[in-house]
């Protein structure tokens, strides 16, 4: 018996040592060498990064931003840098960046101090809020209306944490909390009557709603329980690459490309119309640090 | 740059994470045991149906085994959880959806039904390994078909197939981890929760790994006792 444990332990140890990330040199060097940037995209974060069933590829606001990033990288290295896409989930997005499977996750990840402990983040590029998708005829208007309701949220999301926190503090008492793996699964649970309301960021909920056959059957409630600033995930201690991602964001704001993309995905005729608030517009203008043409060149 | 991960094994026993793992283990054992009871009872029945003289019963047994064992368990659980209630019509399905802990019940039944198909195959193999003359010998004593199975063939076959059943018994506990995908807070789920909360998923997963290992070894030890107790005299032992 003891021998058995010992050999099992050694096997585990060997696994750890072998599975360490193979990261030689900085991300920028690797991109130059291989001509590829490894991108992590979500599968169902509409309109930021999701798989369009019609083309079978990742599309969305953040995916287009990744396109800009690759363009700038191509200019930097004087050769075509291609995007190698990987699908990540709420659960895997941080580990996959940390262990080097992808160089950057570009989706709709909330920037939190806790996550900052293990990974680095780009500049904040969007603000959303944790709220709830409900059937239009449900009559849910306030947080108190959610007492006794069955609530769904995705594993590992900040939304789930926000709900659990409120429940712990006694702010409201749901009948049950169902943890799902992906947002489309949450929508399925909502539609099949497993849960009464589904919770994630408002923009994503609007995305799920618009993708449904009957978008008018659902609505997001007016109140929110937490705020979610979005940023892209990069590895720690990799500032050259992180600067490059930030410069791409800032440059896109300065050149107006950012607003074109916003219009395309979240404008009135976009996939998920989300009005740009004045505060958000001001924020975007204010983060533009002095930057000029040719910033992508190596100094 | 290199491995920037800092190990913190304390998460395994720090409050509330240690508690989460224990709670998860409790659910894993409960679901595994309940599913195993279903699997054993139904598996023996289906396995017997597959070799009876009655063609319709035989056909039913074969259909059950082939459908259940050829679809991934993950897909089956998904089906039972999301589409299953709809099979009962709209009003009843609404009631079923309001059962608290529905996902736990679904995983018990789903894993039980799936494992039953595998147990049935082992049972059939056990029957096949009993010589034809034994069947005839039993019938010649004046027993009916049902008595023959009940008193001789099934007890005999079950003793022959204890080793493969041990594997299935172990697999039931391991398969409970799939229940995580329908939101059941079992052991693997809890280790993922710890990861989401602390980003120390490596430690949490390792902790879960050892708990599964200990659980599995316990099952093996138990089954060894059973095996010894029900050894058929005269057969080649170890």
**Closest residue in chain A to residue B84, using alpha carbons only:** A192
β-bridge mates for residue A52, sequence order: A57
**Closest Cα to residue A153, out of A110, A186, A112?**
A186
Domains of chain B: 9-229 (1.10.3720.10)
CATH of range A131-226; options 3.40.190.10, 3.40.50.300, 3.90.1150.10, 3.90.180.10: 3.40.190.10
pLDDT tens-place string over residues B164-218: 999 999 999 999 999 999 999 999 999 988 888 887 888 899 999 999 999 999 9
Q: Is the pLDDT of residue A38 over 60?
A: yes
How far apart, in whole angstroms, are the C-alpha atoms of residue A280 and residue A129?
13
Residues in contact with A218: Cβ distance below 8 Å, sequence separation at least 6, in sequence order = A133, A134, A135, A136, A190, A209, A212
What DSSP element (H or E) covers A45?
Answer: strand A44-45
Query: Can you give the pTM of this predicted structure?
Result: 0.74
pLDDT at A24: 47
Q: Is the pLDDT of residue A173 over 70?
A: yes
pLDDT at A20: 45
Q: Is the pLDDT of residue A57 over 50?
A: yes
Q: Is the pLDDT of residue A1 over 80?
A: no
H and E: helices and strands count for chain A: 11, 13
List phi, psi (to 5°) of A45: -95, 80
What is the Cα gyration radius of chain A?
21
Q: Which CATH architecture has domain A27-127+229-286?
A: 3-Layer(aba) Sandwich (3.40)
Average pLDDT over residues A133-139: 94
Asked if A192's CB is within 8 angstroms of B100's CB, the reply is: no
Shortest alpha-carbon distance between residue A225 and chain B (Å): 19
Burial of A287 (0-12, 13-18, 19+ CB in 10 A): middle
pLDDT at B2: 47
**Closest residue in chain B to residue A4, using alpha carbons only:** B217
What DSSP element (H or E) covers A49?
Answer: strand A49-52
Handedness of CA B193, B194, B196, B202 (dihedral sign): negative
Q: Is the pLDDT of residue B237 over 70?
A: no
A235 touches chain B (CB under 8 A): yes
List phi, psi (to 5°) of A218: -120, 160
pLDDT at A186: 94
Percent of chain A exceeding pLDDT 90 equals: 70
Q: Is the pLDDT of residue B1 over 50?
A: no
Portions of chain A given CATH number 3.40.190.10 = 27-127+229-286, 131-226
What separation, in Å, do the N-terminal and C-terminal C-alpha atoms of chain B show? 54
How far apart, in whole angstroms, are the C-alpha atoms of residue A255 and residue A251?
6
Q: Characterize B104-136 residue by residue with b for buried, 16 or more Cβ atoms within 10 angstroms of its Cβ, and e for exposed.
A: bbbbbbbbbbbbbbbbbbbbbebbeeeeeeebe
List phi, psi (to 5°) of A52: -85, 115
What DSSP element (H or E) covers B25?
Answer: helix B17-49
CA B57 remoteness from chain centre: 24
- The answer to whether B108 touches B35, Cβ cutoff 8 Å, is yes
Among A99, A135, A192, the residue to mutate for chain B (most B Cβ within 10 A):
A192
Structure tokens at A114: 């806790």
pLDDT at B13: 84
Chain A residues with CB-CB distance to B81 below 8 A: 194
Question: Predicted confidence band at B70 (pLDDT cuts at 50, 70, 90)?
Answer: very high
A-B contacts at Cβ under 8 angstroms: 63
């Amino acid at each position: 018996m003891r021998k058995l444990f010992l050999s099992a332990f050694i096997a585990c140890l060997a696994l750890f040592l072998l599975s360490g990330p193979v990261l030689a040199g900085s991300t920028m060097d690797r991109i130059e060498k291989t001509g590829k940037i490894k991108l992590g995209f979500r599968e169902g974060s509409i309109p930021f990064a999701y798989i369009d069933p019609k083309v079978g590829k990742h599309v969305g606001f953040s995916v287009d931003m990744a396109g800009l990033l690759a363009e700038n990288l191509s200019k930097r290295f004087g050769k075509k840098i291609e995007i190698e896409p990987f699908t990540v989930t709420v659960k895997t997005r941080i580990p996959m960046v940390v262990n080097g499977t992808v160089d950057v996750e570009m989706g709709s990840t909330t920037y939190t101090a806790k996550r900052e402990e293990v990974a680095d983040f780009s500049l904040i590029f969007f603000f959303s809020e944790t709220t709830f998708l409900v059937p239009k005829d449900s009559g849910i208007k306030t947080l108190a209306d959610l007492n006794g309701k069955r609530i769904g949220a995705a594993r590992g999301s900040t939304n789930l944490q926000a709900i659990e926190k409120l429940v712990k503090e006694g702010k409201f008492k749901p009948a049950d909390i169902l943890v799902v793996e992906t947002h489309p699964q949450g929508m399925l649970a909502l539609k099949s009557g497993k849960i009464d309301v589904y919770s994630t960021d408002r923009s994503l909920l609007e995305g799920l709603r618009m993708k449904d056959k009957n978008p008018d059957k659902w609505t997001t409630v007016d109140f929110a329980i937490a705020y979610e600033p979005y940023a892209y995930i990069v590895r720690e201690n990799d500032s050259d690459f992180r600067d490059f991602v930030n410069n791409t964001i800032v440059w896109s704001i300065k050149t107006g490309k950012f607003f074109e993309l916003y219009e395309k995905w979240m404008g009135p005729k976009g996939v998920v119309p989300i009005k740009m608030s004045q505060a958000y517009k001001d924020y975007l203008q204010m983060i533009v640090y002095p930057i000029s043409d040719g910033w992508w060149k190596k100094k | 740059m290199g491995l920037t991960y800092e190990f913190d094994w304390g998460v395994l026993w720090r409050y509330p994470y240690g508690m989460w793992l224990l709670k998860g283990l409790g659910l894993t054992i409960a679901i595994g045991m309940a599913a195993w009871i279903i699997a054993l009872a139904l598996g023996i029945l289906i396995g017997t149906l597959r070799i009876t003289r009655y063609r319709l019963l035989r056909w039913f047994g074969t259909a059950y085994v082939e459908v259940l064992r050829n679809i991934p368990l993950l897909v089956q659980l998904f089906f039972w959880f999301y589409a299953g209630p709809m099979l009962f019509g709209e009003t009843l399905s609404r009631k079923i959806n309001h059962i608290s802990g529905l996902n736990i019940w679904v995983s018990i039944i789903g894993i039980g039904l799936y494992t039953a198909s595998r147990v049935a195959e082992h049972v059939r193999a056990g029957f096949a390994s009993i010589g034809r003359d034994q069947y005839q010998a039993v019938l010649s004593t004046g027993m009916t078909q049902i008595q023959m199975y009940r008193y001789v063939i099934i007890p005999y076959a079950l003793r022959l197939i204890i080793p493969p059943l041990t594997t299935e018994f172990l697999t039931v506990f391991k398969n409970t981890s799939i229940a995580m995908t329908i939101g059941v807070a079992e052991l693997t789920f809890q280790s993922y929760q710890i990861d989401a909360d602390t980003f120390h998923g490596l430690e949490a997963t390792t902790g879960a790994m050892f708990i599964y290992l200990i659980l599995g070894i316990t099952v093996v030890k138990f089954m060894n006792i059973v095996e010894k107790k029900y050894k058929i005299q005269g057969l080649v032992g170890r």
